[in-house]
Amino acid sequence: RQRETTVTITGAGGQIGYALLYRIAAGDMLGPDRPVRLRLLEIPQGIRSAEGAALELQDCAFPLLRDVEISDAPAVAFDGCDIALLVGARPRGPGMERADLLAANAGIFGPQGAAIGEAASDGVRVVVVGNPANTNALIAAASASGIPADRFTALTRLDHNRAVGQLTQTLGVRADEIENVAIWGNHSATQFPDVSHARARGERVVDALAERLGGGDAAQAWLDDTFIPRVAKRGAEIIEVRGSSSVASAANAAIEHVRDEQAGTPWTSAAVVSRGEYGVPEGLVCSFPVRSDGNGYRVIEGLEVDARARARIEASVAELVAERDAVRALGVF
């Protein structure tokens, strides 16, 4: 029998929290043999909502769910934590400048990182969902003394899945027939969804697109004018159509991010701490194509990156550098 895994979810009383809790407790994230203890962190205004979600967890009577604890104190919520999903963040208010947004979130992710350093289990792994996710992960990692920075990642799996979804529509194939899509850079509108290494039913996606769309130039135009902006701005499209931001798909992506990191995968996308791969400055939390052997995501190295791709990656990395510098100027690290 496997030991119980302690999973901490911040912002658990919010929308994505509500979509995450039941799937984690049902075993969708860690598999059917790993019992879980849930630790829910909220701010005082969010505690009642988390308590309500916990009542419903009881009413699901999940066989794998051992225990649920709710707190507004990071030291309590991260005590013994094996896996942390940092979802709660400060949203951008009306008229809020980027520097204000970064500062407000540094005030959340700095202390949470410190509490993880003090209270979490030695093997803890952290994924940041709350925006600006990459830089929030950078702040948390820098604040967690004693925990290797590479245990901190940020979610770009939703962007990855959105890219796969667009290709299924255009190529008329199933999602599980598409491999090796990559998201590079920041989880923002500057991200680069890249299909240059991708295959659909074994055929290169760029060739399959050229066949469907009437040639290589038409395929490139579709990638530049339709695919890339649609994936990068899908969050705004969901808000416009649904009247509310992405919730179920975000929770699903967070679950798949942790599941594949733990179980292993030959290829997906995640924002990880750069070790200088592909010229991305060391220490930035940047999305790359990654694999996992069950012991954490590692960048897939040695891929060919052409000039067009390089320019797009550099533009997104420049945004990450600017965010890092703005946070540094605040004296956060």
Please state the residue numbers annotated as binding site for NAD(+). Answer: 11-17, 105, 112, 129-131
- Does 303 bind ligand NAX (CB under 6 A)? Our answer is no
**13: three-class secondary structure by DSSP:** coil
**For tokens 């159509």, what's the residue?**
241
88 binds ligand NAX per the rule CB under 6 A: yes
Which is closer to ligand NAX, CB of 108 or CB of 205?
108
Helix segments in 120-233, DSSP class H: 133-143, 157-171, 205-213, 216-222, 228-232
| Selected catalytic residue, list 160, 187, 197, 257 | 187
Number of residues forming the site for ligand NAX (CB under 6 A): 29
- The annotation places the binding site for substrate at 92, 98, 131, 162
Residue 197 annotated as catalytic? no
Does position 245 interact with ligand NAX (CB under 6 A)? The reply is yes
- Write out the E strands in 220-284: 265-273
User: CA 182, 34, 56, 41: dihedral to nearest 10 degrees?
Assistant: -70
User: Which residue's C-beta sits nearest to ligand NAX?
Assistant: 14
C-alpha closest to that of 184 among 294, 315, 281: 315
Interatomic CA distance for residues 289 and 325, integer angstroms: 25
Residue of 166, 188, 191, 246 interacting with ligand NAX (CB under 6 A): 246
Cα 176 from Cα 250, distance rounded (Å): 19
Q: Which tokens in the block code for residue 161?
A: 């899945």
Contacts of ligand NAX in 126-165 (CB under 6 A): 129-131, 133, 155, 158
Residues in contact with 96: Cβ distance below 8 Å, sequence separation at least 6, in sequence order: 104
| 89 part of the interface to ligand NAX, by CB under 6 A | yes
To ligand NAX, the closest distance from the beta carbon of 252 in angstroms equals 11
Which one of the spans 8-16, 119-127, 293-301, 312-320 is the region binding ligand NAX (CB under 6 A)? 8-16
How many CB atoms neighbour CB 247 within 10 A? 17
List residues binding ligand NAX (CB under 6 A). 10-11, 13-17, 41-43, 45-46, 87-89, 91, 108, 129-131, 133, 155, 158, 187, 235, 245-247, 250
User: What is the set of active-site residues?
Assistant: 187
